[in-house]
């Protein structure tokens, strides 16, 4: 969260909207339409900030259902759905008619479907996600990086100590979440074996379950998507700590509210001593000097080919915004699920030939790295030799050494 809070990103405002939305949804709703309307407007606003806010909708519906009297439940939920739909519809309609000006219904439909189609300028086609054997591990890695980041500096004793501390904090937070879940699902004689009713925890669990399942399916390793659920996970951790502290106090002075800040303070110490301190220093940013060198050594109209995956994936942000250069991302070129790999390779060769004829294309060596062959074969069905063969007619040569493991390659013709 600390990283995305300092960048021009949709994550921070969406987090604010989600937290206000949770607060509004957990207040008593005595069957009034205006309660549903207010929550629906907030939900629609969150979706307009970023579509992922729709993942909180099941938790909001559950909250309104549980907090409303039986006679008013349908009225409140209906008002919420109508308000959210109107806000989202109005936002998209304003963008279409005030900015895009679609000339017919087909253009309108293509724009609405555009996020899941192929961008004609970049070739980007994200698809609809998918289940792979490594999704669960990638999800855990993304969630951990969302909480604490990662060590960006050189290996050595400081890195080892930080990773040990980060691992300990991760285990502590996971244990507190587990305690909260156990407290939620414990049984008692009064419930006759059924889970005890915990409305607030139920709302959190519905939200986090939907979020976790979706982002284990959709780009599971991207930390920025797991940032959105951080408030929920930390509320669960604080609930687990409060449960322990309540048992320890045994009716004495309730000191658990003070203890609830201990995980946050410990996390701040670990993050502040590691990734926050090092990533705040330009000297620890290996992408910035590469982007600056590319800006200085290539003309403004140049297209730079990158892989879009692997250790240099962050260049997707640095090339357009720091180097101010057009990029051709291979991971996007092959992403259209409706186009066979052979057709995608043919289209790539044609585009490279056109750019080379104008002298407007260079390639980063990482785009041809054999270490990425497994990714392109597993995800796109494009083998390593076939990917490299698409560049054969350029007769690439080393033009500039950008870093010890990265070169700028230029055509010889």
β-pair partners for 403: 406
Q: What is the pLDDT of residue 194?
A: 38
pLDDT of residue 146 exceeding 80: no
212/210 Cα distance (integer angstroms): 6
pLDDT of 46 strictly over 60: yes
Count Cα neighbours of 3 within 13 Å in the Cβ-side half-sphere: 22
Q: Say if residue 389's pLDDT is above 90.
A: yes
Look at 25-39, 122-136, 173-187, 357-371 and tell me which has the smallest mean pLDDT.
Answer: 122-136
Q: Kindly report each contact of residues 24-30 with a partner whose C-beta sits within 8 Å and lies 24 or more positions away, as own/partner.
A: 25/59, 25/60, 25/63, 25/64, 25/67, 25/203, 26/63, 26/67, 26/199, 26/200, 26/203, 27/67, 28/67, 29/64, 29/67, 29/68, 29/72, 29/76, 30/68, 30/69, 30/72
Return the pLDDT at 318. 92
The three-state DSSP-derived secondary structure of the chain is CCCHHHCCCCHHHHHHHHHHHHHHHCCCCCCCHHHHHHHHHHHHHHHHHCHHHHHHHHHHHHHHHHHCCHHHHHHHHHHHHHHHHHHHHHHHHHHHHHHHCCCCHHHHHHHHCHHHCCCCCCCCCCCCCCCCCCHHHHHHHHHHHHHHCCCCCCCCHHHHHHHHHHHHHHHHHHHHHHHHHHHHHCCCCCCCCCCCCCHHHHHHHHHHHHHHHHHHHCCCCCHHHHHCCHHHHHHHHHHHHHHHHHHHHCCCCCCHHHHCCHHHHHHHHHHHHCHHHHHCCHHHCCHHHHHHHHHHHCCCCCEEEECCCHHHCCHHHHHHHHHCCEEEEHHHHCCCCCCCHHHHHHHHHHHHHHHHHCCCEEEEHHHHCHHHHHHHHHHHCCCHHHHHHCCHHHCEEEEEEEECCEEEEEECC
More confident residue, 408 or 310: 408
pLDDT at 56 over 80: yes
For the stretch 112-139, pLDDT in tens is 666 555 554 444 555 556 777 778 888 8
Tell me the per-residue pLDDT of 367-381, one tens digit each, with 9 for 90 and over: 999 999 998 998 889
Mean pLDDT across the stretch 40-67? Answer: 85
The candidate with the shortest Cα–Cα distance to 271, out of 365, 170, 134, 404, is 170
Most confident region among 6-15, 145-154, 156-165, 211-220 by mean pLDDT? 211-220
Give the relative orientation of helices 230-249 and 11-25 as an angle to the nearest 10 degrees: 50
Interacting residues of 281 by C-beta distance below 8 A, sequence separation 6+? none
Give the mean pLDDT of 225-251: 73
Residue 189 binned pLDDT confidence (cut-offs 50, 70, 90): very low
pLDDT number for residue 362: 96
Percent of the chain with pLDDT over 70: 77
Per-residue pLDDT at 400: 94
Q: Binning pLDDT at 50, 70 and 90, where does residue 196 land?
A: very low
- Per-residue pLDDT tens over the stretch 239-261: 777 777 666 555 555 555 666 67
pLDDT at 292: 94
Q: How large is the average pLDDT for residues 78-83?
A: 91
> How high is the mean pLDDT of the chain?
79
Task: Tell me the average pLDDT across 41-49.
Answer: 88
Instruction: Compute the distance between CA of residue 339 and CA of residue 75 in angstroms, rounded to an integer.
Output: 46
pLDDT at residue 188 in the model: 45
Q: Which residue has the higher pLDDT, 203 or 14?
A: 203
Higher pLDDT, 124 or 72: 72
The model's confidence at residue 190, banded by pLDDT at 50, 70 and 90, is very low
């Amino acid at each position: 969260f600390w990283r995305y809070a300092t960048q021009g990103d949709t994550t921070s405002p969406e987090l604010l909207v989600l937290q206000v939305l949770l607060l509004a949804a957990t207040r008593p709703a005595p069957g009034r339409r205006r309660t549903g309307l207010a929550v629906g407007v907030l939900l629609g606003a969150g979706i307009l900030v970023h579509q992922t806010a729709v993942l909180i909708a099941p938790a909001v519906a559950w909250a309104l259902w549980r907090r409303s009297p039986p006679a008013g439940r349908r009225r409140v939920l209906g008002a919420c759905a109508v308000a959210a739909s109107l806000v989202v519809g109005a936002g998209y309609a304003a963008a279409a008619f005030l900015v895009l000006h679609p000339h017919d219904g087909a253009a309108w439909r293509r724009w609405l479907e555009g996020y899941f189609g192929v961008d004609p300028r970049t070739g980007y086609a994200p698809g609809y996600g998918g289940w792979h054997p490594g999704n669960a591990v990638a999800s855990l890695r993304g969630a951990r990086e969302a909480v604490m980041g990662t060590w960006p500096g050189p290996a050595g004793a400081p890195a080892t100590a930080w990773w040990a501390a980060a691992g300990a904090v991760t285990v502590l937070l996971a244990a507190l979440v587990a305690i909260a879940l156990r407290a939620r699902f414990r049984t008692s004689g009064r419930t006759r074996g059924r889970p005890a009713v915990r409305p607030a925890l139920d709302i959190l669990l519905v939200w986090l379950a939907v979020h976790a399942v979706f982002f284990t399916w959709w780009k599971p390793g991207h930390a920025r998507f797991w940032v959105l659920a951080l408030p929920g996970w930390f509320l669960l951790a604080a609930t687990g700590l409060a449960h322990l502290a309540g048992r320890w106090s045994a009716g004495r002075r309730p000191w658990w509210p003070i203890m609830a800040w201990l995980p946050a303070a410990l996390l701040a110490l670990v993050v502040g001593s590691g990734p926050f301190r090092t990533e705040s220093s330009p000297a620890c940013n290996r992408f910035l000097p590469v982007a600056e060198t590319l800006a200085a050594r290539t003309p403004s109209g140049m297209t730079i080919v990158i892989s879009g995956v692997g250790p240099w994936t962050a260049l997707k942000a640095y090339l357009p915004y720091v180097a101010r250069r057009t990029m051709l991302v291979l991971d996007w070129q092959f992403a259209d699920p409706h186009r066979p790999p052979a057709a995608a390779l043919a289209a790539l060769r044609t585009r490279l030939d056109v750019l080379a004829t104008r002298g407007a294309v260079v390639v980063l060596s990482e785009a041809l790295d054999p270490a990425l062959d497994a990714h392109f074969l597993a995800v796109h069905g494009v083998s390593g030799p076939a990917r490299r063969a698409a560049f054969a007619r350029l007769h690439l040569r080393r033009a500039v050494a950008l870093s010890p493991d990265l070169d700028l390659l230029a055509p010889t013709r």
